[in-house]
Chain A
Amino acid sequence: MMHCRDARELMLDVLTTAAPPDARRVLLAHLDDCAACRAEAAQFERTVVLLRTLPDPAPPPGFWPEFMTVLERRVADDGSLWWRAVRWLRMPRVSWTAAVAGAVIAVIIALTFSGPVPESTPVLSPVTGLVTESVRQTVPSVQGTLTLWNNGLTGVEVPYDFRPGGR
């Protein structure tokens, strides 16, 4: 059973054919029983009919060709050269062509300006690490060890008659 308030909310939908058929049936069943809503619905419908009697506004004769001419001119003038260039570049076929051309140019530039790669000479950097200058001065053996690391075993002069353990 529909209430008058719900019926009034539904009236506009039904009158402007926005309501589904089942909602329309429910409203009509209510209108059969309710004289007040029936009168209101009739008034609503007359208003909708009256509003729809208004003809579609039509422009004066010869308007559209002039409209199109003006629009085409404005579209052509619209935006800067930069904007038009951006738009042109956004076109898929242009953007793909530009991407491929850019890649080819990048490769050519890379090959042209890159000479043979020079062989790098490794530079031995002195081992310092966490051993500070003060530690090296305080503990002479640390200094000796570091010298050994830096120069490698070939830099150590071992006496000919050297015997491990001094025996």
Chain B
Amino acid sequence: MDAEDQALVEAFKGGEESAFTALVIKYREAVYRIARRMLRSHEEASDVAQEVFIRVHRALPRFEARSSLKTWLYRITVNLSLDRSARGSRYVLSGLRELGWEPVSDQDPAATAVGKELGRMIRAAVDALPPRQRAMMQLRLYQDLPYAEIARVMGCAEGTVKATMFAAMAKLRKSLAPYVGRHAETGTRGRTDPRQADR
């Protein structure tokens, strides 16, 4: 466990309530971002983040330093978000319909591959993934967690994470195919060939 986290946990166990506040400040944004990417609204993500820290506050006196506090926090966040996502799945579907997003190739990419519109399309494609795939994908792509840590967060084997990630990326590649070409042409970011990074 991170030395700073360990010191804060020990301080909290010793009765210093301010140590808990410090932990919240340290992790609140990451927790919010994970929840926000898995859920449809800011309000839901905010509720989940509150619930995460309430649970942490309850369980922290029994927390043992054998595992990482960050992994534990992320696991609570992902589980609560998955629960919320399962309860609100109808909302997610109607949300996609409201966006009018259909992964069809005859949609004009020129009209959508800019700014917010492109962002909405990407978000919609990610939202269309099954919740666990979405969770793993975002832990890898946006939180930069290694596979082993994602496996601990998700409570599964590392091989399962890799296979699930591969399936998720295959779906996203298919969904975003109409926008990928356009995005590469506009060259907003980076490379088009992984070999370039090594040269």
Contacts and interface: CB of A to CB of B under 8 A. Distances in A.
Interface of A: 9, 11-18, 24-25, 27-28, 31-32, 38, 41-57, 59-60, 63-64, 67-68, 70-72, 74-75, 78-79, 87-88, 90-94
B42 A60 contact: yes
Nearest to B191: A45
B180 interface: yes
Given A15-B194, A45-B194, A91-B15, A53 B189 contact: yes
Instruction: Pick the most buried of A9, A53, A57, A74: most chain B CB atoms within 10 A of its CB.
Output: A57
A45 B141 CA distance: 12
A71 B58 contact: no
B54 A90 contact: no
Contacts, number: 135
A149 to B, nearest CB: 64
Contacts of A25: 198
B143 to A, nearest CB: 10
A72 B172 CA distance: 40
Instruction: Pick the most buried of B13, B189, B193: most chain A CB atoms within 10 A of its CB.
Output: B193
A91 B14 contact: yes
A12 B33 CA distance: 23
Contact of A51 (B46, B141, B195): B141
B117 to A, nearest CB: 12
Contacts of A54: 119, 122-123, 126, 142
Given A46-B192, A64-B28, A24 B198 contact: yes
A53 B188 CA distance: 9
A97 to B, nearest CB: 12
B135 interface: no
B37 A57 contact: yes
A16 B140 contact: yes
B70 interface: no
A42 B184 CA distance: 10
Interface string B131-164: 0000001001110101100000000000000100
B176 A50 contact: yes
B198 A18 contact: no
B142 A49 contact: no
Contacts of A13: 147, 162
Contacts of A92: 13-14
